[in-house]
Amino acid sequence: MNGTDKLAIVILAAGKGTRMKSDLAKVLHLVAGKCMVVHVVECARKLAPEQIYVVVGHQAQQVEQEVRQHFDAHFVLQKELNGTGDAVKSVVPFLPAHIQHVLVLCGDVPLIQEQTLRLLVDGHLDSKDSLTVLAVNVENPAGYGRIVRDDSGAVLCIREEADASASEKKINTVNSGIYCFEKNFLVSGIEKIQCENNQAEYYLTDLVEIARVSGKKISVVSMDDPRQVMGVNTLEELARAEALIHELNNELS
């Protein structure tokens, strides 16, 4: 994989995780003996060990302390939890001038694998995209943002579940929450995100529509293993991740 010396990785780890029914920040819950965010940082370091930016917010000090026990990383505070777009925007001022591409990961997706991220970044670099989305094909798309395309297959937007129409909710290709951006597009595009949605948040996914309107090149890298991009939002999902991580490790060993 060429160009990873010019790659920065942003890991979103600021959320509260209220559905976990716990006082502990969501990304600090354990999977296979390690906090979820530590699994994600561990994977990210295999691609860009010097340029890892962890966005912290809820229980910021505890999250930073936990990661620092294992790895060196940069930490950026999201002062108000106003959505994923706002979280990534908080990192932009800290990105070094030599960085040309930015990979965005979620701190609550502990099963993501190195080869999947390399596939995404390689596809992004080879196609010279402004934005590349990692998508996954699932049987039950409930809860995910849908990848909406036109009749020619071109990506139109990512529609969050809360904002999706009845026909859009039937789409089975969904957003993993993992993206690779050309940095210059990210810096300019993120200023155009509005919070005109049902959650009143700044969605990072709006950058797809912003890229399309601007005539920028967008690609989707699809995969068929939803286990790797499963987000953990509940105690039930935490238990499932615990079982699946052993299953994945056995397959890869």
Contact 190, 88 (CB under 8 A): yes
d(C-alpha 251, C-alpha 39), whole Å: 17
Handedness of CA 184, 114, 27, 76 (dihedral sign): negative
Active-site residue, 118 included: no
d(C-alpha 240, C-alpha 230), whole Å: 10
Contact 12, 56 (CB under 8 A): no
d(C-alpha 21, C-alpha 237), whole Å: 12
Strand ranges, E, within 14-154: 30-31, 34-35, 52-56, 74-77, 101-106, 131-137, 146-149
Identify the active-site residue in 19, 146, 212, 240.
19
Catalytic positions, please?
19
